[in-house]
């Protein structure tokens, strides 16, 4: 059995911990595959890697161990069964040993608090930081005799920085590194650089910049590596992209669409910092314009409610104009557990990315658009239309591989 | 300019009145086309009839005049501007003159109350009733020099009756008529028989049986007439068919989906009769099984709240199982004005049916599936997939007609 | 330290199990007193019994052990921490030994399923059943050297039976027993008879008849015993009695108030039987008329959604008429865990009833009205007004006892 | 019949227009008294002035006429019947003639837009502005032979200014006027000064400072005039003060209470300015701490959604901790029309203030606490407790006046 590395940026967070619990629970037969898109009959037709083939590792800047995080998910959030976490203690401890210190940009008041003594490296000088991170990946591969490594960013949202023309080319980016322009890089960009430079696929599950700079995409194409992002679509925004076509197809003008999110947990705390929140809201706000064909007035807000823990409640109010100008409204309330919603998608992305890589595909994996709030190079924002792109991809490969339903 | 008859069953109801107000308001330039699917650029590419070409008439068993009904929609329900109704008084009075007495089956406690002295005919004997109804259509066509007549059922929901093998063939149906088996027919079936027998397309916008018996469909095909139904998809059920794919495509098991509707108005009153309500609930309940691939437990309830008038509020609670068995929920609240939501669809259906008829198409118009809760001969229940069928139809005709976008 | 018996009817149900877990967890210092009204400073001023003084026992007709029920509350409903249940295993097993077989009326399709071989006694002949039940209480008291026993009905809702004039007097009731009129008694009435006859206070936390017959109340007064009920007010109905004064005090006419409850668990299953549900709905429906001064149209529905377990979700829609006839609405969504909401109230009632009994009070404890949906002999239905009655009671006793704040 | 002046600050706004429409509609018998607290039997026992005795006038800085505003309420917001507004055209035009230019502080970006050529006066010099405003009141009284004038502030929310020790005494305030310290006054304070100085009661229905400075209250007491405020309690906050006792009386810890308001109209537009919004949010935020006894975390947000017009939708999410630490939630959705909710309260306040003035009462009218978000000198924040204060007041007067129920 070949082994595949699953390298998670933010490996000690709630999401990564849930990914680990899930992969191991399913491998041990302790839980079913519900929530995994890759287990839908239409998608499972591809010869995807099994979850038992995955070896997990990653970077993190925090020091709360994975096992501790999983226990909190069970005890405080009641999002995982306590007994399941207990049964997987050995697996979680083993994964803990494969977590390496992440880089930190050192400016943010929120992330500064996370900066444990041994848990993070300053990103200066850039070249040295890159070298260390590359060494982490190489050692991981060698130690576990991995076929490849899929790098997935599941860390907290970073503050946004403004991209410059130099970010548009690989040459420009390398010049910025050489000139030690630290303010031109966020950690997620450095991680993407490192992964692609070493020939490993990179998936950005967060709204951080990650793979957004064109110069980094150029690097991926240069090395023949697939990549994609950004920002996993799990809750309120998923509902939005599912609902918006109703109004468009029925010629009902959306006069306003306001969405109010409350959540706790680490994500909630990080997003309570306005600089971090801005990246997230920017990511959430774009979908309506492309789904409806116009941008209705309205607001997306995110507020930190510590008692909610990993649970996110969103209330959306849609005010629309019907026939003869009569105003009507629809509202929805979404109550989801963020890590539980996101974790299976991360596993799906690892499997689908590994498959694309194995098949020699490179560049943006546009067939994965339905997984993201801001799918790279895809203009289609209706969810079912995006999902059809995935089914078409599967169908194409099945035909090529001579498989049958 | 050719003229087209729009013959509404239930011509004095809230929906028909709103259809009339809308068609005339748009024709006079008093209102915009918002809410009309046929005004979306993608659909408007077809050479459809203009609303100004429509001449309205119909059957009804009630005696409240159209103008009075429209005024109530304005004053009591605040669903139409009072001034708009005032501006269209002449048009509504003119349409009133083209309403003929409908047939009544005489058994229901609810419809019995509607039975005005001159407003309804008993359906006995059947052959005589059919003859009278056919004469209504012929006279309407002759008096107004109409190219054709599109018959649309927008009356209140009838009680359900059980279909027998004899309903499966035209011959069987004609035998039932000959034998005067009145209990084998609901008014909506008689209307459908009459329309198709006279070569006019028939569209069933209600959950009543209407066109459902295969023998009636045979009659339509025999005369080369298009037809379709049933039950316009406007509110809660529309939301359901839009939302269900989210759960299916994400492999999230729906453990229960419960929907509670409250509404007033004539529809609410009729549906407060358990026999009528059953037809409606049966129609609303089917969509989930086909959208999800399985029928989750759950209930659809409809309760009569007189003060709501034409406004329908629905609360749906969806309980679903996520990754690792964690339970989550989504809820939506829909607050729509039924007649305002349905009226533009009725106009859309008249235009699209007239176009199909003009192009020589006959049989079930499956490309109209997205308009209905129970689309005849269509298994696809996801809304956007159904809508794609309409776009494909338009695209096909555009190619054939040599039109360009 | 004196000891007090807490004898629960339905001792193996979710609610009784939660009562036990709570009392023991607080006694062991494993949990805080949040949710206990008797721990509010204003009420704790009374010299109430400590939770550590309570010895639990009871009747039940089911056979699922208390420990097993508590584990399900933890694992399936995530309503209790698994670790807490584990820490209390010994306590729960000890209580299990003090559960005696309940009586069963043997007719209901739902309760029939519960009829374990050794777990229930048929209630025939009545006199014999009464004798056995009395013996249960006497033995419980003797074995544990209890000062008194407080009997609380926390069993599932029984079907309603119609009371006759004979139920209005103690003499009549004893005649019915003598004549072996089994259809004139529900188990809750027999239990009440037994408790009061033996001089023990009885509290009816369910909508079952229990203490409702005037003849049973006569028995309580005869023996100088306090009693009260019925139907603990925990969720949707509590919200109703809190909200209704808003509309009454602002002179806003409630045009309709509709409430839709969905719940799972044992209660949900029992209530899915129309005969049982009717008792519950009757109990929930009365509060608005007395809170508002008139009975607005509207419905209370309860539907069984197994996946919800012990969690109850209620959606209430209130349609009200404002100034100049403008219609507006308020909605609420209540998501509570029934046993968690009810359990502390049961403990409160045990403590307050024991105090009343100790102080020599007898008859209906009207100062406990705020705990019940249908408070015996109290017309005040506004929640805060009812709560003021409790505070007045406390204040009166404090004055008498010479205590100070 | 004696006549009473009702002088509204913001006389051309939506609220004032609705107050006028309501008072005249009821006087003409075109509408019922629903929504008026003073028409509740318990309150109507007082010999209050009839609505037909009120003569309306006021100040405003805008130029949209009352009639035009009322028409928009009917046409755009569908909050009033068009026909009712049409029937009252003469009354509204007559009131228009009694509107005088208000003062404007000239700094706010929002109110600057309202500054019509003749509609507003700069407040400099202060003494001159005060003289003009006093002259307005005196002329109004003389022209209409009014017994007294009740001044009520129903204008949009002003930006908050910081009060200084000089605001704490009448002497200090008069010194600020003398020194022409314009930045120490908002218009609402000047209006209050003018009213009280001329011996007329003043009621502040807005969150603006108005009567808050102690020096102004001293002026009221000096002239023996009653006054009160501030900020009418109509929607979300009313729900809060009604609901909060549920959690307090049941010993359920509120872990967070978040409220999200969306509204349009003039109020919405003014509140979209952060400086104005801050005054409003400050006013809304205080109630929980006093109702619960502690301030739970949580946010109050107000967002401007133009399409909603005068309709305010609020979603509140209450996260609370139950027995044994189990977390539960309650949510409510309030959909009200602000002016329709507030208008009857303004009429109530005019009547109750006039009564107090007639009876020779002066100072803060604490019995009116239930009408306000921030009731002056009252610590009780539970709504029903506040309402009991009004009933006690009525009862006291009834006894004194020798009236019987």
Tens-place pLDDT, residues D133-162: 999 999 999 999 999 999 999 999 998 899
- Residue C233 neighbours by CB under 8 Å, 6+ apart: C241, C370, C371, C372, C373, C383
Does residue A308 sit at the B interface (CB-CB below 8 Å)? no
pLDDT value for B57: 97
Token code pair at residue C353? 């009833």
Using the 8-state DSSP alphabet, how is residue B370 labeled? G
Rounded mean pLDDT, A159-185: 94
Strand order in the sheet with A202-204: A120-122, A99-104, A54-60, A4-9, A148-153, A202-204, A226-229, A363-364
Going from the C-alpha of B84 to that of each of B12, B16, B55, B343, the distances in angstroms are 18, 16, 19, 16
Does residue B153 contact residue B10 with C-beta atoms inside 8 Å?
Answer: yes
Mutate to test the interface with A, among B30, B82, B250 (most CBs of A within 10 A): B250
**CATH class, range D4-232+340-397:** alpha beta
Between chain A and chain C, the number of residue pairs with CB atoms below 8 A apart is 11
Does residue C295 sit at the A interface (CB-CB below 8 Å)? no
Q: Which chains touch B (3 or more CB pairs under 8 A)?
A: A, C, D
pLDDT band at C270 (very low <50, low <70, confident <90, very high): confident
Q: What is the mean pLDDT of chain A?
A: 91
Choose among C299, C319, C321: nearest Cβ to B308: C319
Q: d(Cα A118, Cα D76) in Å, to the nearest integer?
A: 63
- Residue A118 confidence (pLDDT) above 60: no
Model pLDDT for residues D185-244, shown as the tens digit of each residue: 999 999 999 999 999 999 999 999 999 999 999 999 999 999 999 999 998 999 999 999
Does residue A42 sit at the B interface (CB-CB below 8 Å)? no
Touching D: C residues 311-330, CB under 8 Å: 321-326, 328-330
- Residue A106 confidence (pLDDT) above 70: no
pLDDT value for B123: 67
Q: Which of B371, B372, B324, B373 is nearest to B348 (CA)?
A: B371
How many angstroms separate the CA of residue D251 from the nearest CA in chain C?
Answer: 5
How many angstroms separate the CA of residue B126 from the nearest CA in chain A?
Answer: 39
Between chain A and chain B, the number of residue pairs with CB atoms below 8 A apart is 173
Q: Which residue of B has its CA nearest to D83?
A: B82
- Residue B119 confidence (pLDDT) above 60: no
Q: Do domains B4-232+340-397 and B236-337 have the same CATH topology?
A: no
pLDDT band at C106 (very low <50, low <70, confident <90, very high): low
| DSSP secondary structure, A75-95, as one string | HTS--S-HHHHHHTHHHHHHH
Q: d(Cα D127, Cα A373) in Å, to the nearest integer?
A: 60
- Residue C109 confidence (pLDDT) above 60: no
Lowest model confidence (mean pLDDT) among C11-25, C102-116, C204-218, D30-44: C102-116
The values of phi and psi at residue C136, to 5°, are -55, -45
Whether residues A82 and C83 touch (CB distance < 8 A) is answered with yes
Model pLDDT for residues B311-352, shown as the tens digit of each residue: 999 999 999 999 999 999 999 999 999 999 999 999 999 999
Whether residues C82 and A83 touch (CB distance < 8 A) is answered with yes
The values of phi and psi at residue C358, to 5°, are -60, -35
Q: So where are chain D's domains? A: 4-232+340-397, 236-337
pLDDT value for A403: 59
Does residue C336 contact residue C309 with C-beta atoms inside 8 Å?
Answer: no
Does residue C241 contact residue C374 with C-beta atoms inside 8 Å?
Answer: no
Lowest model confidence (mean pLDDT) among C308-312, D14-18, D278-282: D278-282
Does residue A101 contact residue A118 with C-beta atoms inside 8 Å?
Answer: yes
Touching B: C residues 225-264, CB under 8 Å: 255-256, 258, 260, 262
Mutate to test the interface with D, among C323, C327, C344 (most CBs of D within 10 A): C323
Q: Which chains touch C (3 or more CB pairs under 8 A)?
A: A, B, D
Token code pair at residue A90? 């050995």
Token code pair at residue A308? 């909610």
pLDDT band at B400 (very low <50, low <70, confident <90, very high): confident
How many angstroms separate the CA of residue C334 from the nearest CA in chain A?
Answer: 13
Q: Hey, which bits of D11-94 come out as E strands?
A: 54-60
Touching C: D residues 336-355, CB under 8 Å: 336-337, 340-341, 343-344
Q: Which residues of C touch D383 (CB under 8 A)?
A: 245-246, 249
Q: Which chains touch A (3 or more CB pairs under 8 A)?
A: B, C, D
The half-sphere exposure of A209 on its side-chain side, counting CA atoms within 13 A, is: 22
Q: What is the dihedral of CA B339, B345, B346, B352, to 10 degrees?
A: 180
Rounded mean pLDDT, B360-370: 97
Choose among C25, C80, C242: nearest Cβ to D243: C242
Does residue C8 contact residue C19 with C-beta atoms inside 8 Å?
Answer: yes
pLDDT value for A107: 45
Model pLDDT for residues B133-152, shown as the tens digit of each residue: 999 999 999 999 999 999 99
Whether residues C333 and D335 touch (CB distance < 8 A) is answered with no
- The ipTM (two decimal places) reads 0.93
- Residue B107 confidence (pLDDT) above 50: no
Q: d(Cα C103, Cα C60) in Å, to the nearest integer?
A: 8
Q: Which of A117, A144, A123, A13 is nearest to A68 (CA)?
A: A13
Q: Which CATH number fits domain C4-232+340-396: 1.10.10.10, 1.10.357.10, 3.40.50.720, 1.20.1250.20?
A: 3.40.50.720
pLDDT band at C120 (very low <50, low <70, confident <90, very high): low
Choose among D305, D308, D317: nearest Cβ to A262: D317
Q: Does domain C236-336 have CATH number 3.30.360.10?
A: yes
Q: Which chains touch D (3 or more CB pairs under 8 A)?
A: A, B, C
Q: Which residues of D touch A262 (CB under 8 A)?
A: 256, 258, 317
Does residue A82 sit at the C interface (CB-CB below 8 Å)? yes
Tabulate helix, strand, coil % of chain B (nearest 5): 50, 20, 30
| DSSP secondary structure, D56-69, as one string | EEEEES--S-HHHH
Rounded mean pLDDT, B234-246: 92
pLDDT value for D120: 65
Question: Could you name the CATH architecture of D236-337?
Answer: 2-Layer Sandwich (3.30)
Q: Which residue of B has its CA nearest to A30?
A: B324
- Residue A117 confidence (pLDDT) above 60: no
pLDDT value for B104: 81
- Residue C117 confidence (pLDDT) above 60: no
- Residue A113 confidence (pLDDT) above 50: no
- Residue B120 confidence (pLDDT) above 70: no
Angle ∠(A309,A311,A314) on CA atoms, nearest 5? 130
Q: Hey, which bits of C297-366 come out as E strands?
A: 300-304, 311-321, 327-337, 363-364
Does residue B312 contact residue B336 with C-beta atoms inside 8 Å?
Answer: yes
Whether residues A243 and B242 touch (CB distance < 8 A) is answered with yes
Model pLDDT for residues A266-316, shown as the tens digit of each residue: 778 888 788 877 877 777 777 888 889 899 999 889 999 999 999 999 999
pLDDT value for B404: 54
Rounded mean pLDDT, C30-43: 96
Does residue D306 sit at the A interface (CB-CB below 8 Å)? yes
């Amino acid at each position: 059995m070949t082994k595949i590395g699953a390298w998670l940026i933010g490996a000690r967070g709630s999401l990564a911990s849930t990914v680990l619990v899930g992969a191991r629970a399913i491998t041990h037969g302790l839980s079913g595959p519900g929530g995994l898109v890759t287990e839908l009959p239409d998608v499972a037709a591809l010869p995807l890697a099994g979850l038992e083939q995955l070896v997990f590792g990653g970077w993190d800047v925090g020091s709360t161990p994975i096992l501790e995080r999983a226990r909190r998910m069970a005890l405080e959030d009641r999002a995982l069964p306590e007994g399941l976490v207990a049964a997987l203690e050995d697996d979680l401890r083993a994964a803990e040993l494969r977590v390496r210190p992440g880089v930190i940009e050192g400016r943010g008041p929120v992330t500064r608090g996370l900066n444990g003594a041994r848990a993070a490296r300053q990103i200066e000088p850039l070249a040295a930081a890159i070298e260390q991170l590359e060494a982490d990946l190489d050692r991981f591969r060698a130690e576990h005799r991995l076929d490849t490594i899929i790098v997935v960013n599941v860390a907290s949202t970073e503050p946004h920085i403004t991209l410059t023309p130099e970010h548009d080319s690989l040459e420009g980016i390398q010049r910025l590194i050489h000139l030690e322009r630290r303010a031109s890089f966020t950690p997620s960009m450095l991680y993407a650089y490192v992964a692609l430079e070493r020939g490993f696929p990179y998936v950005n599950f967060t709204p951080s910049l990650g793979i957004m700079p064109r110069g980094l995409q150029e690097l991926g194409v240069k090395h023949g590596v697939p990549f994609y992002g950004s920002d996993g679509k799990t809750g309120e925004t998923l509902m939005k992209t599912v609902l918006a076509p109703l109004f468009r197809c029925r010629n009902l003008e959306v006069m306003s669409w306001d969405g109010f999110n409350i959540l706790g947990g680490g994500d909630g705390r990080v997003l309570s910092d306005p600089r971090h929140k801005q990246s997230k809201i920017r990511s959430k706000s774009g979908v309506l314009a492309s789904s409806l064909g116009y941008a209705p007035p309205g607001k997306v807000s995110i507020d930190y409610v510590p008692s909610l823990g990993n649970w996110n409640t969103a209330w959306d109010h849609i005010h629309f104009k019907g026939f003869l100008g009569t105003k009507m409204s629809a509202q929805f309330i979404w109550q989801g557990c963020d890590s539980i919603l996101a974790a299976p998608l991360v596993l799906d992305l690892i499997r689908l990315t590994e498959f694309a890589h194995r098949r020699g595909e490179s560049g943006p994996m546009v067939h994965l658009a339905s997984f993201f709030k801001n799918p790279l190079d895809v203009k289609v924002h209706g969810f079912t239309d995006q999902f059809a792109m995935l089914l078409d991809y599967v169908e194409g490969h099945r035909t090529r591989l001579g498989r049958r339903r």
